[in-house]
Structure 1
Amino acid sequence: MSLAARTLELLRDEGVDRVFGNPGTTELPLLRELATTTDPSYVLALQEFSAVSAADGYARGTGRPAFVSVHAVPGVSNALIGMNNARRSRTPLVITAGQQDQRFLRDAPMLGGDLVGLAAPACLTAEEVHTGADLLPLLRRAFARVRRQPSGPAFLSIPMNLLAADEDVPVPSRIPAPDAGPSPAVEEAAAVLRSAERPAILAGDRVGATRSVAELTALAEALGATVYPQPQYEYVNADSEHPLTAPSPHFTGTEIAKALAGHDVLLVAGAAIRPHVWTPERPIPDGVRVVQLDDDPAEIGRSYDVEVGLAGSVGATLAALTALLPGREADRERGARIAETLLRERTTWRDRARAGVDAGGPLDPASAAQAVADAVAPGTVVVEEAPTTGPALRRALVQRDAGDYHNSSGNGGLGWGAGAAVGLALAHPDRPVVGFLGDGSAMFGVQGLWTAARLGAPVTYVVVDNGGYRAVSDALPPGFEGTRLGGVDWAGLARSLGLHGTAVEHGSEIGPTLAAAQRSGEPSLVVVRIRGGAS
């Protein structure tokens, strides 16, 4: 049996039911085996970044490592943005690339090169397979690595002659993943939290990724603490409708510090504080006592002083803290006061956004976001990649379950959203998916729309079109040509790729158009013109 066939055996044992990729000649031995089976099936992307993004979404949705096959030096190069996104998001991916035949690598053949050197900066591990006997153990080791924290992509470069070799190599046993328990420092942390008069919790992506929203909510209620979702969050880390949930701070040091000012104790629960630009103000105001929890010990104290560090399972540690913090009357009264203020602010913001939907011409971004949020069907998974309109969508959306919302634009590698929506649709065949994309972001990953159409994935894309790179144009003098994108016919482009494409001309059309697209169950794209483009 060929090593390529043995590789498929190992993938099945690891729970891999789909291979995401773009095919090339150096992967032919693996592709020949895939052509004879539907277990796993092959998900074709037009470009490797789209393949990695779709795998990223699939891994998020299934909770299992996803597998990607890319093609030699060009494929690894195209995949690098997606690999970097996955590393910063801690998404478990195993990525292999077909290397040229070892027997003529010394001749510097077309497509040959240092694949490990290319991939290593964006991956947890990157190795080249040198012998047939090494292939399966190294692949098994890659899966084991991405199943422990911090997770991310693991990369293998596999020469095509090894994949084609007919060797009697047994498939090694699966390597068990460690089972982390609660942090041993919970009593010390509980003492600090118990002393707080104005406590706050920064709810981070490790809360959402580990499905620990309920545990965080219980702790917030016991403390009477204000909960701030992590700036530029990627998962639902706090129930958006809970009375103690505040808006997520904007991702600059100044805005984060402004939100946290007035609190005396802060629990950083699985959150990475990575401001977008440098500001003189540090994100954590002076004098705030910090307790930090993470399942990656390297995150604790990385950027700011921590009084108590909690390294352990996020959900189990939050539950252990709650058990040590029985709610006191003073905590309940404080929580009630906070809740009254936050509920009023939330209602006022949404009402103001809804009032602008009927305005003529391009919509205010907040009104467009609210119209979309009000129209999404119950149970919808929302994939957002709209850096300047996304903050408004996050305030408008009802987000209660950790899997309701996904984002990656905080990693800086734009183009993720179109492909990720496909992966999440494959992971959740019983749930509708909406991909909310800025026009600039969408153009970076437009090939993902084709994969949605090819698979018939029930994704409804909403492209909010301001005709430019607003995140850049806002910081430049008016008139700079390098931020203008106007003139793209998004509805026509969608139709050319096999989707239903519609452009709405008035805010009142957003709701009915989006609802109809979702009811159809077919891949669709709705274009919404918004204000605020490059001038």
Structure 2
Amino acid sequence: MTTALRALLEILADEGVDRVFGNPGTTELPLIEALSGPGTVPEYVLGVQEGSVVAMADGYARATRRPAFASLHIAAGTANGLIGMLNARRSRTPMVVMAGQQDRRHLLQDPMLAGDLVALASGAAKRAEEVHRPEDLPLVLRRAFALARQPPQGPVFVSVPMDVLEDAAPVEVPARSPLAPPGPAGGLDRAAALLAAAERPAVVAGDGVGRDGAVAALVRVAEALGAVTYHQPMNDHLDFPGSHPLYAGPLPPVNARIHERLKGHDALLIAGCRAFSPHHYSPGPPVPEHLTVVQIDTDPAEPGRNFPVDLGLTGALDSSLAALAGRLTRLVPEDTARERTREAGARHAQARDRLELRARSARGGAPLDPLAAAHALAGALPEEAVLVEESITVGVHLRDVLRRDRPGGFVHTVGGGLGWGIGAAVGHRLGAPERPVVAVLGDGCAMFGLQGLWSAAHHRVPVLFVVMANGEYRTLKDTLGARGGGPAVPHPGLGLGELDWRVAARFFGIPAVRVDGTEELARTVAAVRGLDGPLLVEVPLRGHP
């Protein structure tokens, strides 16, 4: 038997939590006191705004591949952290978010900062719950960690009143219940038969593949079929090797354009993908009606969710795809798969050569062409580096020119809530200190999460922050141009003006430089291995006239 507060710490240790990402207030003082002292585990990682706190937890969970833990302060802190929870839910990042609530003995008086925390968090979390008795806290926490891990993974929110943590009454700590991992999906013989009958098969590599460590198994499936393979729209992970001859790049986040890309195929395997989450509206379905579609996911709600499929399967991706590859190897003649791969590789090589020529011809001095900047950065990244991407317009170019093969080498959030990138990069480097981290940030995105630089400086986290600075919300201008508004037409609210990011970095105690061209950018990125603390690089880009 122990107290509720000691039970909290015991459960965190048992669940593998070695860092608490937080921003404290009065309701978290019992936790802060318990974590005081040299060498205390878990370590408290301070963020100076809750959006950055949850983003750090997001990056840490992805790097460590286990649920992270974030501590927020009451209603205001929960509200600030919602954007991070929304991103985590969309990106299926497992975490437990705990917020302190006011002492229950005066909640009736509507004390300062109190509020309905469960109602606030419910739309952004898989589940939100408030603890009403000290003896309930251990069980609620065990449930929260279990649910965060359960497909589809995501954030679980727990509100804990201050007096619950201060209560000295004895509580019992339930043991953690080990769960056997899921096995291969059923129906693999039927799936193999459907795919093997195709003459022009394709694969969509979803983020579940990267999350679950199933990239190698999916490569074997694609090679057994000789199937052209696409990343899902706005992929969050590296789900297929970028240099593979079968790789055709990411699908665009517009149904009509997905339809256009897929119409030349006759069968489609969708693996681990929230299929599909469009960004801009277009009429009609993303998948042509003539395609035979097989979809596999760890989440039983996913197959057939947005469009009908010929066969939906649920199971562990790695073992399911490995078993499917074995069946396809027996059903599809090796010569057929090899010839398909050769033809696809030749087409893709030609397209890459054309893009390479365009990018190289645009390289030069500042201000940089966006494609040239993306190309220089992508080519200079060390193989083992992790690219954390939150640069909307340059990010599109990055996806086109990246040739990353090592799993875990690319991180994004499809959640779309801006301000994630700085905190996520800090958390990722803390979780995987052996891999250099380069965060590519749009200047508009970076403005939303600027406070995360404080944590990078305070904890001396060696991240290279590359701010792509065009002084505008360029993606909105591009969208207006596509709608007929024209980028030259003045519109309110789309310009940021001239910002000196070196001044912003130095305010937080981070050294900063401004590159004078693509070659200096490449040299700076290539040197990321040697960082012993954070560095910010401003990249001036050409904007609209």
- TM-score grouping bracket, smaller chain normalisation: over 0.9
Aligned ranges for residues 58-457 of structure 1 at < 5 Å? 58-272=60-274, 273-326=276-329, 327-328=332-333, 329-358=335-364, 360-408=365-413, 410-457=414-461
- 1:310 match: secondary structure: strand
Per the alignment, residue 22 of structure 2 pairs with 21
The one-letter amino acid of 2:355's match is W
Q: Does 1:489 align with 2:490?
A: no
**1: CA distance between counterparts of 2:427 and 2:211?**
16
**2: CA distance between counterparts of 1:203 and 1:2?**
47
**2: CA distance between counterparts of 1:91 and 1:147?**
9
- 1:488 match: secondary structure: coil
Deviates more, 1:125-134 or 1:331-340: 331-340
Per the alignment, residue 508 of structure 1 pairs with 519
**2: CA distance between counterparts of 1:324 and 1:513?**
47
Per the alignment, residue 471 of structure 1 pairs with 475
Residue 521 of structure 1: how far off its partner (Å)? 2.7
* Contact map agreement 2:453 2:508 (CA 8 A) in 1: yes
Residue 2 of structure 1: how far off its partner (Å)? 3.7
Residue 100 of structure 1: how far off its partner (Å)? 0.2
Residue 261 of structure 1: how far off its partner (Å)? 1.7
Per the alignment, residue 13 of structure 2 pairs with 12
* Contact map agreement 1:144 1:177 (CA 8 A) in 2: no
Residue 529 of structure 1: how far off its partner (Å)? 1.4
* Contact map agreement 1:141 1:175 (CA 8 A) in 2: no
- 1:474 match: secondary structure: helix
* Contact map agreement 1:385 1:438 (CA 8 A) in 2: yes
**2: CA distance between counterparts of 1:181 and 1:468?**
48
- 1:435 match: secondary structure: strand
- 1:475 match: secondary structure: helix
Residue 449 of structure 1: how far off its partner (Å)? 1.3
**2: CA distance between counterparts of 1:378 and 1:312?**
31
CA RMSD of aligned residues (A): 1.3
* Contact map agreement 2:366 2:515 (CA 8 A) in 1: no
Per the alignment, residue 46 of structure 1 pairs with 48
Q: Which runs of 5+ in 2 are unaligned?
A: none
Residue 156 of structure 1: how far off its partner (Å)? 0.6
Q: Which runs of 5+ in 1 are unaligned?
A: none
Residue 516 of structure 1: how far off its partner (Å)? 4.0
* Contact map agreement 1:517 1:524 (CA 8 A) in 2: no
Deviations 1:109-133 (A, max 9, x none): 0011100000011111111100011
Deviations 1:9-35 (A, max 9, x none): 110011100000101101111111011
- 2:151 match: secondary structure: coil
- 1:246 match: secondary structure: strand
**2: CA distance between counterparts of 1:12 and 1:191?**
47
**2: CA distance between counterparts of 1:398 and 1:372?**
11
The one-letter amino acid of 2:105's match is R
**1: CA distance between counterparts of 2:73 and 2:500?**
32
Deviations 1:160-207 (A, max 9, x none): 001011122122100223421111111111110011000000000000
**2: CA distance between counterparts of 1:63 and 1:177?**
16
The one-letter amino acid of 1:96's match is M
How many residues are treated as equivalent by the alignment? Answer: 532
**1: CA distance between counterparts of 2:162 and 2:428?**
31
| TM-score, normalisation: structure 1 | 0.97
**2: CA distance between counterparts of 1:162 and 1:427?**
31
**2: CA distance between counterparts of 1:167 and 1:349?**
67
Residue 366 of structure 1: how far off its partner (Å)? 1.1
* Contact map agreement 2:231 2:249 (CA 8 A) in 1: yes
**1: CA distance between counterparts of 2:352 and 2:318?**
27
